[in-house]
A and B are shown apart, each in its own frame.
Chain A
Amino acid sequence: MCFGHANKGESMKKRKWMWREIGGGAAIGFINGFLGAGGGMLAVPLLRGTGLSQKEAHANAVAVILPITALSAGIYLWRGQVAFSQAAVYMPAGLAGAWLGTGLMQKISGEWLRRIFGGLMIYAGVRLLLR
């Protein structure tokens, strides 16, 4: 089940359209809209496949998921499934956490990031199966 990623830098140059990126992105967007979470978890392996390191993949996954989340959140709001105030109460604590997290990213090793990520993925997967 472990397979390496072939020389991606070379193949990237040959392709004019990045179908893998666009197709992978579509899958990420679908899951994120469907479950309201989880898109970023798919973005990390996809990004690493394009040649990014573990840490870079995690940072870039946030950038990938942000516009997708903005669109999804907008549609949820528009359809009246959520009110902004329901989320706003968690935001100050969340922002403090985000500040700590981005700082921690400089210190943590890629190896540990990978292990923690694997554990959280398994946990999220089990939760979805039991839902």
Chain B
Amino acid sequence: MTALALAAGLFSGLIGAMGLGGGTVLMMYLALFTKTPQLTAQGINLLFFLPIGLLAVTRYAQKQTIRWKTVLPIAAGGLLGAVPGIFSATAFGGGVTAKIFGGFLIVLGIKEIVCKRKKT
């Protein structure tokens, strides 16, 4: 367990708990500093998030920040989408879909920074 691995875990947990996409940090660490195959890295990232997400949601729920009536239908749809998502990952191995999603994220990110909102 190197200091770098600890830092990757710490920052991934911090960013993930804030809903900022913590997976990005751990996946980057795994890709750059370990020889983990892509699908295993994805599995590590998913497992890693479970206690982090649980802790974060518990703390947010204590402050009544969680709107279950909105969260539950989205999560229900998410469960339906997750299964075909995982099976296509092994069938296509990333590739084009990952790039399309990458382009989409860049557009969303630019919007996020450029567009002012009344309610932040």
Would A72 and B5 count as touching, CB distance under 8 A? Answer: no
Would B79 and A71 count as touching, CB distance under 8 A? Answer: yes
> Which of B1, B21, B97, B118 counts the most chain A CB atoms within 10 A?
B21
A116 at interface (Cβ–Cβ under 8 A)? yes
Contact residues in A for B54 (Cβ distance below 8 Å): 66
Partner of B15, one of A57, A59, A70, A101: A101
Would B106 and A44 count as touching, CB distance under 8 A? Answer: no
Would B21 and A35 count as touching, CB distance under 8 A? Answer: no
Q: Which residues of A contact B (CB under 8 A)?
A: 1-2, 4, 18, 21-41, 43-48, 50, 52-73, 75-77, 79, 81-82, 84, 86-102, 104-105, 108-111, 113-129, 131
Residue of A nearest to B29 (CB): A90
B89-120 interface with A by 8 A CB criterion: 89-90, 94, 97-99, 101-120
> Which of B22, B49, B88 counts the most chain A CB atoms within 10 A?
B49
Instruction: Give, as a whole number of angstroms, the nearest-CB distance from B57 to chain A.
Output: 5
Would B42 and A64 count as touching, CB distance under 8 A? Answer: no
Would A50 and B70 count as touching, CB distance under 8 A? Answer: yes
Contact residues in B for A101 (Cβ distance below 8 Å): 13-18, 56
Contact residues in A for B24 (Cβ distance below 8 Å): 37, 120, 123-124, 127
Give the CA-CA distance A97 to B37 in the complex, in Å: 25
> Which of B73, B89, B105 counts the most chain A CB atoms within 10 A?
B105
Would B112 and A52 count as touching, CB distance under 8 A? Answer: no
Would A77 and B73 be within 8 Å (CB), given that A90-B5, A128-B102 are in contact?
no
Interface of A is mostly: helix
Would A67 and B67 be within 8 Å (CB), given that A33-B82, A54-B117 are in contact?
no
Give the CA-CA distance A66 to B48 in the complex, in Å: 11
Contact residues in A for B60 (Cβ distance below 8 Å): 59-60, 62-63, 102, 105
Instruction: Give, as a whole number of angstroms, the nearest-CB distance from A3 to chain B.
Output: 8
Would A73 and B77 be within 8 Å (CB), given that A53-B119, A95-B55, A101-B14 are in contact?
no
Contact residues in A for B47 (Cβ distance below 8 Å): 73, 76-77, 82, 84, 86-88
Instruction: Give, as a whole number of angstroms, the nearest-CB distance from B5 to chain A.
Output: 7
Give the CA-CA distance A101 to B15 in the complex, in Å: 7
Give the CA-CA distance A24 to B75 in the complex, in Å: 9
Give the CA-CA distance A64 to B105 in the complex, in Å: 19
Known contacts A1-B107, A100-B10, A118-B111, then 15 further A-B pairs from the complex at CB < 8 Å, ordered by chain A residue:
A32-B82, A33-B85, A62-B53, A65-B53, A67-B79, A72-B86, A76-B43, A87-B44, A94-B16, A109-B120, A120-B20, A121-B106, A125-B109, A126-B106, A131-B94
